């Protein structure tokens, strides 16, 4: 069966620019919906299908996690997903092969979420060239401090990959400003201290952090970590975020479903409930 032809995805920055223009046309701020899933959980075939489901349900950017054995920033749900994916034999080369097949069928860009060790293992230069070749537009590396991002940023620029940097509620103001200045694509605001994972509520501190960052930059700001319900998405959009990132709740659905088919169906329904909250 022939693959559906879609308009090629644009980069992260361009995606936010288009949303802003669309928002002006409709007289409201259009907030980017950014789901996260772990590659290879429950298997890469399901990951490929999940990327298509997320795209068709209105995702603006999709974060795809590269499973790693020591994911320091991740809570139990994503850690368990990474463990399952690695146990199934998921590796970087297999993920790249899958992306080469799937990315041309997607209308939204992919941002890889990878810890630094797998990047160093391959070599920064080779890693960046490889993900560019697979059609990836962005990269998030949660465990690299700003001072050590020089080579990553250099190779990212060379390969037209937007390197997204993270700032947290405990980041000092001067450091936050430096991170914001260096970040490409968007600024990733971590909503809470600690690891990823669904939380019952979102701290109102996020609202003041958003205002603080927006005083320092015109770059889009997306909020992630702990967001798991339509009401969270709506609340963060109302606080002025340019994007909302939902991870653990997505990963849990796919990883804990009785079958891949059921997981994909539940993922579709859940994604629609989240995108409806900000449409």
Residue 2: predicted pLDDT: 43
**What are the backbone dihedrals phi and psi of residue 191, each rounded to the nearest 5 degrees, phi first?**
-75, -20
On whether residue 143 sits in a domain, the answer given is yes
- Looking at residue 68, its pLDDT comes to 94
Q: What per-residue confidence (pLDDT) applies to 124?
A: 98
> Residue 212 CB: number of other CB atoms within 10 A?
15
Q: How crowded is residue 225: how many other Cβ atoms within 10 Å of its Cβ?
A: 28
Number of compact structural domains in the chain: 1
Show the tokens assigned to 51. Answer: 């990327």
In a domain, 36, yes or no: yes
Q: Which residues of 9-32 are buried (b: 16+ CB within 10 A; e: fewer)?
A: bebbbebbeebeeeeeeeeebbbb
Question: Contact, 95 vs 40, CB < 8 A?
Answer: yes
Neighbours of 80 (CB within 10 A): 17
Of the candidates 74, 162, 184, 242, the residue annotated as catalytic is 74
What is the C-alpha to C-alpha distance for residues 1 and 225, in angstroms, rounded to an integer?
Answer: 39
Domain range for residue 265? Answer: 12-166+249-277
On whether residue 23 sits in a domain, the answer given is yes
Per-residue pLDDT tens, the chain, 279 aa: give them.
344 455 667 899 999 999 988 866 555 668 999 999 999 999 999 999 999 999 999 999 999 999 999 878 778 899 999 999 999 999 999 999 999 999 999 999 999 999 999 999 999 999 999 999 999 999 999 999 999 999 999 999 999 999 999 999 999 999 999 999 999 999 999 987 654 545 456 777 889 999 999 999 999 999 998 898 999 999 999 999 999 999 999 999 999 999 999 999 999 999 999 999 998
In a domain, 2, yes or no: no
Question: Catalytic residue among 41, 60, 63, 155, which?
Answer: 63
Asked whether the bond before 91 is cis by omega within 30 degrees of 0, the reply is no
Query: What is the reported pLDDT for 25?
Result: 56
Per DSSP, 88 falls in state T
The CATH number covering residue 156 comes to 3.20.20.70
Is position 187 within any domain? no
- Is 63 one of the catalytic residues? yes
Segments of the chain assigned E as strands: 32-38, 62-65, 110-113, 138-140, 162-167, 187-190, 221-224, 243-246
Is residue 112 a part of any domain in this protein?
A: yes
Q: Does residue 201 lie within any of the structural domains?
A: no
The answer to whether 241 and 19 have CB atoms below 8 angstroms apart is: no
In a domain, 226, yes or no: no
pLDDT of residue 3: 46
pLDDT of residue 8: 65
Residue 248 makes CB contacts below 8 A (sequence gap 6+) with 75, 77, 78, 196, 197, 198, 228
Looking up tokens 């990963």, which residue turns up?
A: 251
For residue 164, list its beta bridge partners: 140
pTM over 0.85: yes
């Amino acid at each position: 069966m022939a693959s559906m032809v879609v308009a090629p995805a644009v980069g992260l920055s361009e995606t936010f620019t288009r949303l802003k223009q669309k928002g002006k046309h409709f007289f409201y701020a259009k907030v980017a919906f950014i789901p996260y899933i772990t590659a290879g959980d429950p298997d890469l075939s399901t990951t490929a299908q999940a990327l298509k489901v997320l795209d068709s349900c209105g995702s603006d950017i999709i974060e795809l996690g590269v499973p790693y054995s020591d994911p320091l920033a991740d809570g139990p749900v994503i850690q368990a997903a990474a463990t399952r994916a690695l146990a199934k034999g998921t590796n970087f080369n297999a993920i790249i092969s899958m992306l080469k097949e799937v990315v041309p069928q997607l209308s939204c860009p992919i941002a890889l979420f990878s810890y630094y060790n797998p990047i160093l293992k391959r070599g920064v230069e080779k890693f960046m060239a490889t993900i560019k070749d697979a059609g990836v537009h962005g990269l998030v590396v949660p465990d690299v401090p700003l001072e050590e991002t020089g080579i990553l940023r250099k190779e990212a620029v060379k390969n037209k990959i937007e390197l997204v940097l993270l700032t947290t509620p405990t980041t000092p103001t001067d450091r936050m400003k430096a991170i914001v200045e260096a970040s490409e694509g968007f600024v990733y605001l971590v909503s809470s201290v600690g690891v990823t994972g669904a939380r019952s509520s979102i701290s109102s501190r996020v609202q003041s952090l958003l205002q603080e960052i927006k005083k320092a930059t015109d770059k889009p700001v997306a909020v992630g970590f702990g967001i798991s319900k339509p009401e969270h998405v709506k609340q963060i959009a109302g606080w002025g975020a340019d994007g909302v990132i939902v991870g653990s709740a997505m990963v849990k659905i796919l990883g804990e479903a009785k079958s891949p088919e059921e997981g994909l169906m539940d993922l579709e329904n859940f994604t629609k409930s989240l995108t409806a909250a900000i449409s």
